[in-house]
Amino acid sequence: MSKIEPTFSQSLKRLEEIVEKLEDPNLDLEEGLSLLEEGVKLHKLCRDKLTQANTKIEKILKDDQGALDEGNSEKEPA
pLDDT beyond 70 at 69: no
User: Which residues constitute the domain of residue 46?
Assistant: 8-61
Q: Is residue 22 part of a domain?
A: yes
pTM of the model: 0.72
DSSP state string for 30-51:
HHHHHHHHHHHHHHHHHHHHHH
Q: Is residue 39 part of a domain?
A: yes
State residue 7's pLDDT score: 95
Q: Is residue 21 part of a domain?
A: yes
State residue 78's pLDDT score: 46
Amino acid at 24: D
State residue 11's pLDDT score: 96
Q: Is residue 71 part of a domain?
A: no
The residues, any chain, with a CB within 8 Å of residue 52's CB and separated by 6 or more, are: none
Q: Is residue 78 part of a domain?
A: no
Most distant pair of Cα atoms in the chain: their distance = 66
CATH code for the domain in which residue 32 is found: 1.10.287
Q: What is the C-alpha to C-alpha distance for residues 28 and 47, in angstroms, rounded to an integer?
A: 28
State residue 70's pLDDT score: 62
**What does the pLDDT look like over 5-61, one tens digit per residue?**
899 999 999 999 999 999 999 999 999 999 999 999 999 999 999 999 999 988 888
Q: What is the C-alpha to C-alpha distance for residues 61 and 56, in angstroms, rounded to an integer?
A: 9
Amino acid at 67: A
